[in-house]
Structures are given as structure tokens and as C-alpha cells.
Amino acid sequence: MRVKTAAAAIIVATAMMAQTGCDSTGGHGKVSKVGQTPAPGAGSTAASASPSARYTAEQLKRALIDPPAGATRVRTESGPADTVITGFGATGATAAVTAAPGCTASGPAGLGAATRTPTALMSFTQGQTFTTVMLSAVSDAQARQRATRPFPKACRSFKATAGGTTMSARTVTDDPYTLGEGGRIREMDETTSGVHVHLWNIVFLGPDYAASCEADGLDVTRADAERLARQAYRKASATLR
């Protein structure tokens, strides 16, 4: 049975790396805490001031899709990104994420100004599939550009440890994706305690927001992720005006 604490850590790490981009500098791996603000000077892409935001966290929360009938373990978090990460990424334990330097610095643990970005995130389980949808207010042109860049090679694998369980994730494909104002679709493999599962992540941009949609499970397919992303895009387009 999957340990949801570690699963959430991988999901949040992937989502934040996808939305904030990844500035790999190579070198040895490092360990950071999900939700932890970086030390001064950490991460060459971290901004010094909070990015401008058109939408509030509450508006983004209203723009999230409704969970399907029969969904279980439904969770919703909203607020500044660091608060959302901390609330969602670890239950009773802080999740440690290991990746190459520069990946965590601009990704899940070292977001700099992005930690204050208004964000809303929802997760739910349906059958054997674990799903998350995250919306973040992104107005800065450079941040939007980073959200649609491919992961550098050094950032295409990382580990997350929470509650005594370690999960590893490896990016299999990372391709452009046409939805909204553009995005990317990523296929990933995960391993938890010897159990292999599949993850599809789609990131796309809308007017002054970025979305990350993930479907994770034994038999999850690209079509599952695409249906989720289209649903998220329709709801956000109708709600955020």
C-alpha cells in the first residue's frame, strides 16, 4: 500500500519544479526540506521581492476543479506557496527532497520570492489513481518562461523521504504541450519500497496563472492526464476573468 506522505512529497516537488523551472548547476546532490525557505544566496533564479499577482489564493481555490463522484482523500490547500507546500507535502513529518544543486534551489524547497505566490492545490484518490491540480498566480514574464522550459538533465531525477519512506522519481519524457498559452507534458516513473508506478504531469499557462495537473498510479495513462488538464483549463478559464 502506498504511503501517502511520501507520495504527496513527490507530487508537490514535481509540481513546484514544473512551475518554477530548474536552474541546474551540476555537482553533488543536496537535501532540502519541502516548504523550507532557502538560505540567503541560495538559487541563482530566486527573486528578492514577491512577484506581482493578479489573483488571490482564494480566487485560485474557487477555480480548482471539483473532485469526481466517488473520490476519496480529498484535500485542498490555498495560500502562499510555502504554506501550501508545508500543509500538503508532509503529514506528521517534514519531507526531505534530494536533487542536484540548483534543482531544489529553484524548485520545491528553495523558491525564493515564489514562496509568497498565491497558490491553490487539490488532491484526491480515485481507484488506484492519485491526482493533484495546482494553480498559481504567475504574472512575471521570466517566471512564465521558466514554467514551460524542459527540465535540465541534472534535474530529471530526485528523491523524497517522508515518514520513513523514500520515493524516487525519474523523468522519462519532457515535451512541449499545446494547451492554454502553452505548456509541457512530462512522463515520470516512481519507485516506492520496490513498487513502481507511473506519473504524468502537464503544466500549462493561462492569463496570469500557471497550472500543474498530475495523475499518478499503476495504470495511469497520458490520456488520463490530458483529460484532467483540459478539465482544469476549462474550469480556470470560466472562473478567472
Residue 43 domain flag? no
9 and 88 Cβ atoms separated by less than 8 Å: no
Residue 92 domain flag? yes
Residue 42 domain flag? no
The CATH number of whichever domain residue 155 belongs to comes to: 3.40.1000
105 and 94 Cβ atoms separated by less than 8 Å: no
Residue 225 domain flag? yes
Residue 215 domain flag? yes
Residue 111 domain flag? yes
Per-residue pLDDT of the chain (241 residues; tens, 9 = 90+): 344 555 555 556 555 555 555 544 444 344 444 444 333 333 333 333 344 678 999 999 999 999 999 999 999 989 988 788 777 654 433 456 666 666 654 333 333 445 688 999 999 999 888 899 999 898 777 777 777 888 888 878 877 776 677 778 888 999 999 999 999 999 988 887 778 888 899 999 999 999 999 998 888 999 999 999 999 999 999 999 7
Distance CA 103, CA 154 (A): 8
Question: Given strand 195-206, what is the order of strands in its sheet?
Answer: 30-33, 96-99, 157-162, 165-177, 183-192, 195-206, 209-217, 129-137, 118-126, 72-80
Residue 161 domain flag? yes
Q: What does each C-alpha distance from 165 to 12, 44, 105, 194, 212 come to in angstroms?
A: 16, 31, 23, 11, 25
Count of structural domains within the chain? 1
Residue range of the domain that includes 101: 4-37+50-239
